[in-house]
Structure 1
Amino acid sequence: MAINYGLDGKVALVTGAGGGIGRAAAEAFARSGASVMVSDVNEAGGAETVTLIEAAGGKAAFVRCDVSNAGEVKAMVAATVATFGGLDCAFNNAGINRITDDQYDDAIWERDIAINLSGVMRCMREEAAYMLQNGGGAIVNTASINGLVGNGGQPAYTAAKHGVVGLARHGALRWAKAGIRVNAVCPGVIETPMTAPLVQNAEMKALIDGMTPMGRMGQASEIAEAVVWLCSPAASFVTGHAMVVDGGATAF
């Protein structure tokens, strides 16, 4: 069920919004009244997200950004402010999740950390710099259940997502008195384009469903609702929180 979280007149920035969780969150922000800056390296996907929002009566624009590039992140935040006149909510969602034969390869490690961890830091840094001068705001970072528990097959991803949770707690402490709330959302396995190969493999999908007490993969819209709630006035006393949305997978 889509809920309006009362964000009329607010401006939201969503990275990794060309599909999956990011697109669902961008649409949810728009349904709640926010103007949405859609960002991604996937220009076609980002443009499609903007079209979907506008077709539903919302306001959106697109800016391309590779979050591993500090200059592009700075330009993204500046474009958001220039286009919509401010920045109230930010969802730092851009990330990659790769399974390869050699997870300890230096190039794999460095790329994963550059996007999944350093990219989040760069976004937080630029978003907070604006919010500190303009009355505060709310930031949510995409972590993962692998930011709370171990994963024997993906050292870089697991380390990065643990770091994302740490960044959220750091930001919450650093900026609490300045009116900036910082939280993280920790999805379980969610049915998105990124996980499509798993869904297409019936044996693998059955295994994943069996690992989740609710017996199914999550939907991008279910993560989006948590994100927009964390950015809304309804969560005004919530900061430094790693919200798990995983169908009970980490309850064992």
Structure 2
Amino acid sequence: MTGELDFSGKRVLVVGGSSGIGNGIAQAFRAKGARVHVWGTRAGPDDYDAAEGSDLAGLGYTQVDVADPAAIAAAPDPFPDGLDVLVHSQGMVLYKRQEFERAGFDKVMAVNVASVMQISQRFHDALAEAKGSVIVISSIGAFKATFGNPAYAASKAAAVQLVRTLALAWAGAGIRVNGIAPSLVDTKMTKVTMDNAERRAGALSRIPLGRFGTVEDMANVALFLASPLAGFMCGQTLVVDGGVTL
């Protein structure tokens, strides 16, 4: 199995790989020998704080606002010689009922759904040449109502269906498209819950395994999905939630 998880020389782009789950995935691929580039929102790698869960050591970096189609189109190719793995870990959630307003709803959908489609399409030919893999990070919010966040829940459900649709469309080109649906993971994006003792305790009480997920948990699944071990998996979104959805 160890050999199957050797990504030496592979080219990996992690969109949203500057912090949280995406950063954990980026560093996991790097640790397995891959050349890894990340897209993030800040001007440069020095603008990220390790205390926020960011480790850009050894990673290439480009600032790209994925909510802007023009910025996606204009971003330089991360690797001039192709691409083996594309990971979509970009994500946005807005609180205080901002997602009930048109501007907030549209922005969340742009980041969580539209950018996944546009970026995947941009790298289709490179991935086809490499017989590569696309991995989309969604959420268990795709499968249940999410109080106060209609755009987030709808976007994550759309991402699951996009995985299925792109997998069907691109399997003939040798591109495998799969996804991961995490439950609550302690990252910058979930601090509204993690920093609130009452919310945190309530969330933990609903996890049968009795702990929160970690970025390493998600990174391990991403390595599996991109490896030959998952060579016959196509169009699946793996729920990695400690049993919450049971």
TM-score (norm 2): 0.91
Letter in 1 for 2:201: A
2:220 pairs, out of 212, 221, 225, with 225
CA deviations 1:108-144 (Å, max 9, x no partner) are: 1111111111111111111213223x24210001110
Q: Which residue of 2 aligns with 1:7?
A: 7
Q: Which residue of 2 aligns with 1:103?
A: 99
| Residues 85, 127 of structure 2: 8 Å contact kept | no
Q: Which residue of 2 aligns with 1:71?
A: 70
Cα distance change of structure 1 residues 240 and 172 upon mapping to structure 2, 3 Å threshold: same
Q: Which residue of 2 aligns with 1:57?
A: none
CA distance in 2, matches of 1:3, 1:187: 26
1:202 aligns with 2:197: yes
1:185 pairs, out of 180, 185, 190, with 180
Letter in 1 for 2:61: F
CA deviations 1:53-82 (Å, max 9, x no partner) are: x3xxxxx31111111222322344x42122
Letter in 2 for 1:96: M
- Deviating more after overlay: 17-26 vs 213-222: 213-222
CA distance in 2, matches of 1:231, 1:75: 27
CA distance in 1, matches of 2:70, 2:101: 27
| Residues 138, 182 of structure 1: 8 Å contact kept | yes
Give the secondary structure class of the aligned counterpart of 1:103. Answer: helix
CA distance in 2, matches of 1:101, 1:18: 27
CA distance in 2, matches of 1:9, 1:130: 15
Structure 1 unaligned residues grouped into runs of 5+? 55-59
1:172 aligns with 2:175: no
Q: Which residue of 2 aligns with 1:118?
A: 114
CA distance in 2, matches of 1:75, 1:237: 34
CA distance in 2, matches of 1:229, 1:86: 21
State the aligned residue count.
239
Structure 2 unaligned residues grouped into runs of 5+? none
CA distance in 2, matches of 1:37, 1:206: 36
| Residues 98, 105 of structure 2: 8 Å contact kept | no
| Residues 89, 137 of structure 1: 8 Å contact kept | yes
Letter in 2 for 1:209: L
Percent identity between the two aligned chains: 31
Letter in 2 for 1:120: V
CA distance in 2, matches of 1:15, 1:175: 20
1:159 aligns with 2:162: no
TM-score (norm 1): 0.89
CA distance in 2, matches of 1:102, 1:137: 37
1:143 pairs, out of 135, 138, 142, with 138
CA distance in 2, matches of 1:93, 1:74: 18
CA distance in 2, matches of 1:166, 1:100: 27
| Residues 183, 230 of structure 1: 8 Å contact kept | yes
